[in-house]
Structure 1
Amino acid sequence: MTAQETTGVSALSRRALLLNGAAVAAFAVLRPATALAQVEAATPLEAGDIRPFRVDVPAAELVNLRQRLAATRWPDPETVDDRTQGVQLAKLQSIVRYWETHYDWRKAEAKLNALPQFLTNIDGLDIHFIHVRSRHENALPLIMTHGWPGSVFELLKVIGPLTDPTAHGGTAEDAFHLVLPSIPGFGFSEKPKGTGWNPDRIARAWDLLMKRLGYQKYVSQGGDWGAIISDAMGRQAPPGLLGFHVNRIERSTTIPPEVARALRSGDPAPAELAAEERAVFEETREFLTKGFGYAAIMGTRPQTIGYGLADSPVGLAAWFYDKLADWVFTRGEPERTLSRDEILDNITLYWLTNTGTSSGRIYWENSAGTSKLAPIAIPAAVTIFPGEVYRPPKSWAERAYTKLIYYNRVDKGGHFAAWEEPELFSAELRAAFRPLRRP
């Protein structure tokens, strides 16, 4: 391809170039690096339309990214000495300088390509997923879903502890076979061309994916949108879903009616609330008042914000970094928890796949709300991480999960729990799912 041809690559053909590694490696047996636990890749190709996948970003895309970063037109600095107006200019300029001059996407690409990746078509959409089988007999199949502004990158550090627990402080009886899909419109999953890909539809697709892989019994896990999708799976209760774990709880299904009314009206907390409940009330009001604007925008105008996310890598980075800073346990300083390269792996994935807009549409798809959703009757497990934005007491969680088999509060970790605290997160999943394993 000539330089002129590369410059003129359309969005569709760019995606085809990103996928060309799958064709080159068709039906190859992919094996993850031994450092990620001694696991083997396996999938029953005869069970459905499952194709091996590799990431292979054209060099011209990376050159274009650096050119755009170098040509950034910066806004004036904030007029305050804190983050109350958003991501601070000096902080973002430092990140962008590193992104332009030192960051290496090829290392991120190698992380993904060291794992067994696949595409499969479900309901007319190609779904990207990582599938890592444990070497341990009787491992429990687990489908685990990322959130926004995350991706499969936020889950990579738990692959080893979950598939090879004996190398990470657990026992062989704690092992999982892992399936890590990319939500439609995120990462290397196809972007929906029409409406309707809401959490309920994704939940049905995930059950089909597990059955296509040959897993007749399995469990689910998620945080952020992954938790909402896991909740939807719990309500649908497909045959074979033994239970699920979440590290993020939906507010609308757990907040008592009188508390919800006070939040909507701006009234003080109900007098009968206990001290723990009152603290949750005040934290929730603070979040809804000062930290929920991003969701309101994407829930009503994902296309409008999407133009900036698609055209400016710095705009994309600012939009995502703001939420990382808000939601990690080390509030305001995500680099104290995640390396700069880890943060940029995730942001660069969104940029190269041009999924800033398509990923935001899940908020629009879900905008009908969840206030009328029925409680979930299958076994559910919850871990409350202290940096999460909503941390309801057990009595509130039981409003949504009528068969709550596990509820635990830990002392570190935030919204991106698997990314921030992989060992602790893995230990929580082992404990949460033990009651669901065969005796």
Structure 2
Amino acid sequence: MHIEPFQIAIADQDIDDLRRRIRATRWAPATPSPAWQQGVDAAWLRALAEYWAAHFDWRAAERGLNQQPQFLADVAGQRVHFVHRRGVGPAPYPLVITHGWPGSFVEFRHLLDRLCDPAAFGGDAADAFDVVAPSLPGFAFSPAPARPGMSAFQVADLWASLMRGLGYERFGAQGGDLGAGVSIALAARHPRIVDGIHLNFLPGSYEPAEGAAQKPLTSAEEKFLREKNEWVALEGGYAHMHTTKPRTLAASLNDSPVGLAAWIGEKFRAWSDCEGDVERVFSKDELLTNISLYWHTQCIGPAMQMYWENRLQPMRFGEGERVVPPVGFAHFPKEIHHPPRSWLERTFDVVQWTDMPAGGHFAAMEKPDLLAAEVRRFFRPLRQQRR
């Protein structure tokens, strides 16, 4: 496997073109509705766009991202961009951590600090990790797949090959959103090399096996499935577009930076523990670093393509099928779905379950200390078993 160092270097003319496009925005007419009721708030979006064009410093953001050791690798015919942080401790444990949409590898900056060097944050150096944080195919600097079929299951195969190529014979996995699906697929398809997986999200397509051998649904499970269906009806329009007509949507979002900011920014508000004020949790600079990454790499279309592929290969399990490696789950209160533990236990060996005190869908950014502590706790006995 060929690996080469990588540094982000967006051309000056691309930054200038972005600012020109923002200033030339044709703003949508206002509608008589309360702020955020029908999607992104126009006043908030205008303020964000004005800041993006006049004050946001991409070069400063780029320097910050380039402090992370980044690489490109050819993995089974797919070019993969990844961060590879070595742990500071006596025996760092290898961990692959996977992002989702509308995030990117930039979500993990503060989490990686705490996982790789726990002693710097009051923890034990014995809990240090070697962390590999790849960009999903089609996201950021990982090119779009050349062929169809790149669902979470195929990405899991790529990650297994990547970790082997980096010299890790066994490892753990962690993820939320799309990354949770990849982590589950890693455990399901590669149980001999994956020690365990830690999740902070359960994929919406997950279904345990049905049949006579299965226990009847509990009242908590019935409530969860009912609430999930209600959420999909009211809040799932974005996913329906991604899974059915991604190219139609990409034609707009790839051409309009303000449209892209609206599509992504609204989700950071709706899915985070921000009490309606997104900038209580994420600064404009944090939001725009992630949005600018989508813009400069023109990855919004390829990123949505993974929803299409996952629809064709959903996370469903056959009769009697179980995932062997143990699972840890951090249940954040403002996450978009709230499965009961029993729903996971129909398929997984759940050895750690924590109802978190605060945080939402973007846990690595919102609550890096809380998430890092949970990940350390889950993998502590697994790393001891390897000795």
Query: Scaled by the length of structure 2, what TM-score is found?
Result: 0.94
Any idea what SS the aligned residue of 1:418 has? Answer: helix
The one-letter amino acid of 2:353's match is Y
Same amino acid, percent of matched pairs: 40
1:143 aligned onto 2:85: no
Gaps of at least 5 residues in structure 2 are none
Deviation larger for 121-130 or 66-75: 121-130
Higher relative contact order (CA 8 A, sep 6+): 2
Secondary structure of 1:366's match?
helix
Partner of 2:231: 287
Pick one of 312, 315, 321 that aligns with 2:256.
Answer: 312
Matches within 5 A, 1:356-367: 356-367=300-311
Deviations 1:130-163, CA, capped at 9 Å, x for gaps: 0010121211100000000000111111111101
Structure 2 partner of 1:394:
341
Counterpart of 2:199 (choices 246, 252, 256) is: 246
Q: Is 1:129 the counterpart of 2:82 in the alignment? A: yes
CA offset digits 1:178-236 (Å, max 9, x no partner):
10100000001111222111111100000111110001111000000000000111110
Query: What residue in structure 1 maps to residue 50 of structure 2?
Result: 97
Helix, strand or coil: the match of 1:219?
Answer: strand
2:369 aligned with 1:423, yes or no?
yes
Query: How far apart in 2 are the matches of 1:53 and 1:348?
Result: 18
**Alpha-carbon separation, structure 2, partners of 1:376 and 1:217:** 17
Match of 1:14 in 2: none
- Give the deviation of 1:375 after TM superposition: 3.0
Do the aligned residues in 2 keep the contact of 1:120 with 1:127 (CA within 8 Å)?
yes
Check the 8 A contact 1:254/1:399 in 2, yes or no.
no
**How far apart in 2 are the matches of 1:367 and 1:384?**
24
Partner of 1:376: 323
Contact 1:77 1:88 in 2 (8 A): no
Mean Cα deviation higher: 411-420 or 281-290: 281-290
Kindly provide the amino acid, as one letter, of the partner of residue 203 in structure 2: E
- 8 Å CA contact retained: 2:191, 2:325: no
1:297 aligns with 2:250: no
TM alignment of 1:27-426, pairs within 5 A: 48-253=1-206, 273-274=218-219, 276-277=220-221, 279-368=223-312, 369-372=314-317, 374-401=321-348, 403-426=349-372
Structure of larger gyration radius: 1
- 1:393 and 1:237 mapped to 2: Cα distance? 26
Mapped to 2, the partners of 1:279 and 1:330 lie a distance apart of 25
**Structure 1: runs of 5 or more not aligned:** 1-47, 259-269
Report the Cα distance in structure 2 between the residues aligned to 1:175 and 1:63, rounded to whole angstroms.
41
Distance 2:166 2:263 in 1: 36
What is the root-mean-square deviation of aligned Cα atoms in Å? 1.8
Aligned to 1:437: 383
In the alignment, the residues of structure 1 paired with residue 326 and residue 90 of structure 2 have an alpha-carbon distance, to the nearest angstrom, of 24
- Aligned 8 A contact 1:295 1:363 in 2: yes
Q: 1:240 deviation in Å?
A: 2.0
Equivalent-residue separation in structure 2 for 1:279 and 1:360 (angstroms)? 29
Distance in 2 (alpha carbons) for counterparts of 1:251 and 1:375: 18
**In 2: Cα distance, 1:106 partner to 1:286 partner:** 42
Deviation readout 1:27-65 (Å, 9 max, x if unpaired): xxxxxxxxxxxxxxxxxxxxx300000111110000000
Letter in 1 for 2:361: H
Q: 1:236 to 1:100 in 2, by over 3 A?
A: same
Q: Say whether the 8 Å CA contact 2:83–2:134 is kept in structure 1.
A: yes
Aligned partners of 2:199 and 2:329 also within 8 Å: yes
Q: Secondary structure at the match of 1:436?
A: helix
Secondary structure of residue in 2 paired with 1:379: strand
Aligned equivalents of 2:30 and 2:255: distance in 1?
21
Asked whether the equivalents of residues 132 and 163 of structure 1 are also in contact (C-alpha less than 8 Å), the reply is: yes
CA distance in 1, matches of 2:26, 2:7: 35
